[in-house]
Amino acid sequence: MLKIGVLVSGGGTNLQAIIDNIENGYIKNAQIVTVVSSKEGVYALERAKRHNIEGVVMSKKSYSTADEYYDALIKHFEDRGVGLIVLAGFMTVLGEKFVKYYENKIINIHPALIPSFCGDGFYGLKVHEAALAKGVKVTGATVHFVTAETDAGPIIIQKAVEVRDTDTPEVLQKRVMEEAEWKIFPEAIKLIAENKVKVENGIVRRID
């Protein structure tokens, strides 16, 4: 059984998609054992509570150094036997110490087709604003393993989403979530729980 720890900072719709796909049996051999939020009062914590999943707040700024924060997070996950860490709308940067410790065991979702509209500064609505400003006709979402460089780790799954002339950043954000994020995040976790992905020289390969 793969034990999953989810890191959140907001509404948690991606967390919800993962919970739903574990409960409906699409993702097998996996359970979410803890949800860690960077902030108090976010709706993602409420979602965890409703499904009887532990929810805690651990905020980087309440530790005197980044290393102390990473040590506390590592201890929290180790104590629970976590084997996969899922960043689901998590807004805190995780440094080298943490990502090296969990190499190829941390995944993130980014609401664009990496390497477009990604990296430092591209988060939330800004990603969709940039896509519309460029006039791309297709955007999408990417699930990738996390390395110390923002949005640069090995790509696991991508899904394209059409951009329409009438889109606002908010409308496009919603379509990318509905048509891509909520599907490919559970799909990536399913593949990992079934040991169907491996990373070779920075490239993800499927094992069938």
Task: Indicate the residue type of 92.
Answer: T
Cβ 204 to ligand GRF shortest distance, Å: 18
Minimum CB–partner distance for residue 110 and ligand GRF (Å): 6
Q: Contact between 180 and ligand GRF (CB under 6 A)? A: no
Residue 109 binds ligand GRF (CB under 6 A):
yes
How far is it, in rounded angstroms, from Cα 181 to Cα 42? Answer: 20
Q: Which stretch binds ligand GRF (CB under 6 A): 19-27, 92-100, 109-117, 192-200?
A: 109-117
Residue with tokens 């990318």: 176
Question: Please, what's the b/e burial string for 124-155 (b: 16 or more CB within 10 A of its CB; e: otherwise)?
Answer: eeebbbbbbeeeeeebbbbbbbbbeebbbbbb
Contact at 8 Å (CB) between 81 and 105?
no
Contact call for residue 147 and ligand GRF (CB under 6 A): no
Nearest approach, Cβ of residue 134 and ligand GRF (Å): 18
Please identify which residue in the block is written with the tokens 């499927």. 206
Note whether 151 binds ligand GRF by CB under 6 A: no
Task: Indicate whether 27 belongs to the interface with ligand GRF (CB under 6 A).
Answer: no
Is the CB of 44 or the CB of 204 nearer to ligand GRF? 44
Q: What's the burial of 60, exposed, middle or buried (CB within 10 Å: 0-12/13-18/19+)?
A: middle
CA distance 4 to 86: 7
Least distance to ligand GRF, CB of residue 175, Å: 11
Question: Mask 53-92, x = binds ligand GRF (CB under 6 A)?
Answer: -----------------------------------xx---
The answer to whether 144 is a known catalytic residue is no
* Secondary structure class of 60 (helix, strand, coil): helix
List the catalytic residues.
110
Residues that bind ligand GRF (CB under 6 A): 10-15, 44, 88-89, 109-111, 177, 181
